[in-house]
Amino acid sequence: MKVIAALATLMLSVQAFASQFVINHKFDDDANNDSKVMVIFAAEDEAVTLESWSSATQTMVTTALNAKEFTGKHGQMVEVLAPTGLTAQRLIVVGVGAAGAFNRVKAEQVGAKLLGSLPSDNEVALNASLLADANAVAAIAHGMDLKNYRFDRYKSDAKDRDTVTYYWQVADDSAAQQHYGDYQAIAKGVFLARDITNLPGGDGYPQAIAEMASKALKPLGIKVTVLNPEQVRKAGMGALYGVSQGSQHKAYLLAAHWQGSKDQPVALVGKGNTFDTGGYNLKTSSSSILRMQTDKAGGGAVLGAVMALAGQKAPVNVVAVVPLSHNLISGSALLPGDVVTAGDGTKIEVANTDAEGRLILADGIWYARDKFKPRAIADIATLTGSKVGALGTAYSAIFTEHDDLLATMKQAGEATDELVWQLPLGPYPGIISSTLADIKNVGSPGAQAGAVFLQHFAKDTPWIHIDMAGNAYNAGASGIHPAGGNGYGVRLLTEWVKLYSNQAN
């Protein structure tokens, strides 16, 4: 039995989860004129012209663009077949919008949209020499990479997709290459988060996620600490332990520390509930329980962000803490009304076993404070249906009493298009008061009760809570995301840690 279990673990850890980076982007300041497909990017109301074009080529292209009323509007694409005088059989002209408004987010969207029109089995020449901003050019390539990810572990016909080279002609190739390197680090973090989010609950239990993350993060110089269930229990983390006690897969806790500076660390705490049945407060409708493997997406987000920052060798001190649980039922599961004692000694009445996220985060936040003495904590979690009701999925909800955390998080949200909207922490007198124990794990309004509960454990450490319920998963492909787990939070938190670390120095 033991041998089989060990073998199964080994197989899981060596298995490829997804195909990524099948496009090899090469940046040069010279043209590659041999490709069958050529792309040229143009800003709004600016001339689409290359010095190398003959007047016959120019006339044909201009006529074709006029016929399609091409203005260079953001996302506009016109294809010219068999362009006169060019080796390419297809010329695709892509509008990026007003030059002054062309930024990272707009660039990523253009890349993702363009990808659908490009061959995946043939090299492509992309001419971005009309665009001045090397960072935005690199972000176009990044948008393609983000869109091109596939989680194909459970597809019978999954085989490694062939790598294809896209040749970029840019004004400043070393600048573009450098920015692209930073974006590649972000993409790797997003892919880790998507893999973690996508893994079904039967295969992606706490120990499996801890092993998968360790394997991805250690090679980057990230210090990984894994607490096994016995260590979680002995450390006194009864809230985290309790959520997983009804499952054969007991609780783990993972800490991943990137020490890129000597500053006091920033801590990111992510909800890693690897499946949410609700516990004895069972999720009884089929639609509410389906996809609850995505309840570990907050954990994926913080691990992905640390991976991105380490990949960039960012000069920041950041630690991700992920409490990992499996919220299942059995004769040993928590019962509604049971009392658990958290790591900080707080006695919690578990009035609802489906409000498990805040239980595991309570101990995650306590562990982060106790072991790392962070200058600030951001926690992120698929925490409440109430948040989805209030804001839908275009925003996540943020809660904080600290203006600097609020301002930097909003700024990071806008820079990455992972938008955040503040909800209040009070006044809600008695919102989590318990007659039985110190506090209880539910209250009304729902999203605020979750936030106020977590605030109890952050104590005097500057803290911000991000409720990302509903944001982790797309049923269909959309924008820079293929269908499935989207890695929400990695781009937001990577940006935020840098912004906050700079201003807090």
Q: Which residues are identified as catalytic?
A: 283, 358
Among 446, 462, 484, 489, binds ligand BES (CB under 6 A): 446
Q: Nearest to residue 277, comparing CAs of 297, 292, 267, 262? A: 292
Q: Least Å distance between CB 227 and Zn ion?
A: 21
Show contacts with Zn ion in window 258-277 (CB under 5 A).
Answer: 273, 276
Does position 189 interact with ligand BES (CB under 6 A)? The reply is no
**Closest-CA residue to 137 (of 185, 98, 171):** 171
Q: Closest by alpha carbon to 189, among 215, 207, 163, 216?
A: 216
Q: Where are the alpha helices (DSSP H) in 314-402?
A: 357-372, 385-391
Residue 1 has a CB neighbour count (10 Å cut-off) of 5
Q: How many CB atoms lie within 10 A of CB 414?
A: 14
SS3 380: strand
Q: How far is the CB of 442 from ligand BES (least distance, A)?
A: 4
What does the per-residue mask of binding to ligand BES show for 11-50, with x meaning CB under 6 A?
Answer: ----------------------------------------
Q: List for the chain the helix, strand, coil content (%; round to 5).
A: 40, 20, 40
Q: Does 439 bind ligand BES (CB under 6 A)?
A: no
Residue whose CB is less far from ligand BES, 315 or 337: 337
Task: Please say whether the beta carbons of 440 and 349 come within 8 A.
Answer: yes
58 binds, among Zn ion, ligand BES, none (CB under 5 to 8 A by kind): none
Round to the nearest angstrom and report the end-to-end CA distance of the chain.
53
In angstroms, the CA 387 to CA 414 distance is: 20
Binding residues for ligand BES restricted to 56-75, rule: CB under 6 A = none
Q: Output 388 or 415, the one with its CB closest to ligand BES.
A: 388
Of 155, 382, 397, 193, whose CA–CA distance to 288 is shortest?
382
| Residue 470 sits in the site that holds ligand BES (CB under 6 A) | yes
Look at residue 386 and give the partner it binds from Zn ion, ligand BES, none, a contact being a CB closer than 5 to 8 Å depending on partner kind: ligand BES
Which is nearest to 296 in space by CA: 200, 393, 405? 200
Q: Which does 384 bind (CB under 5 to 8 A by kind): Zn ion, ligand BES, none?
A: ligand BES
3-class secondary-structure state, position 473: strand
Q: Which is nearer to ligand BES, 118 or 243 (CB)?
A: 243
Q: Which of 295, 344, 349, 379 binds Zn ion (CB under 5 A)?
A: 295
Name the minimum Å distance from CB 382 to ligand BES. Answer: 4
Q: Which residue is listed with tokens 């006091």?
A: 264
Site for ligand BES in 280-309 (CB under 6 A): 295
| CA 469 to centroid of chain Cα atoms | 13
Q: Which does 352 bind (CB under 5 to 8 A by kind): ligand BES, Zn ion, none?
A: ligand BES
Q: Where in 170-209 is the site for Zn ion (CB under 5 A)? A: none
Q: Does 471 bind ligand BES (CB under 6 A)?
A: no
201 binds ligand BES (CB under 6 A): no
- Measure the CA–CA gap between 436 and 486, rounded to whole angstroms: 41
Q: Is 207 in the site for ligand BES (CB under 6 A)?
A: no
Minimum gap (Å) between residue 238 Cβ and ligand BES:
18
Residues 6+ apart with CB under 8 A from 5: none
Helix count and strand count (H, E) for the chain: 15, 20
List, in order, residues 6 or more apart from 202 with CB less than 8 Å away.
Answer: none
Query: Shortest Cβ distance from residue 308 to ligand BES (Å)?
Result: 24
Q: Is 357 in the site for Zn ion (CB under 5 A)?
A: yes
Binding to ligand BES by CB under 6 A, coded x per residue (else -) over 235-274, reads ----------------------------------------
Q: Which residue has the tokens 């924008």?
A: 479
Number of residues that bind ligand BES (CB under 6 A): 17
Backbone torsions φ then ψ of 268, nearest 5 degrees: -115, 120
Q: Helix (H, G, I), strand (E, B), or coil: what is residue 159?
A: coil
Q: Is 354 in the site for Zn ion (CB under 5 A)?
A: yes
**Site membership for Zn ion, residue 467 (CB under 5 A):** no
Q: Does 356 interact with ligand BES (rule: CB under 6 A)?
A: yes
- Interface residue with ligand BES, options 384, 396, 434, 455 (CB under 6 A): 384
Please state whether beta strands 124-127 and 164-169 pair in parallel, antiparallel, or not at all (unpaired): parallel
Give the distance from CA 68 to its chain's centroid.
37
CB of 353 to ligand BES, least distance (A): 8
Smallest gap from residue 327 Cβ to Zn ion (A): 6
Q: Which residues bind ligand BES (CB under 6 A)?
A: 276, 295, 352, 354-357, 382-386, 388, 442, 446, 469-470
Q: Which residues bind Zn ion (CB under 5 A)?
A: 273, 276, 295, 354, 356-357
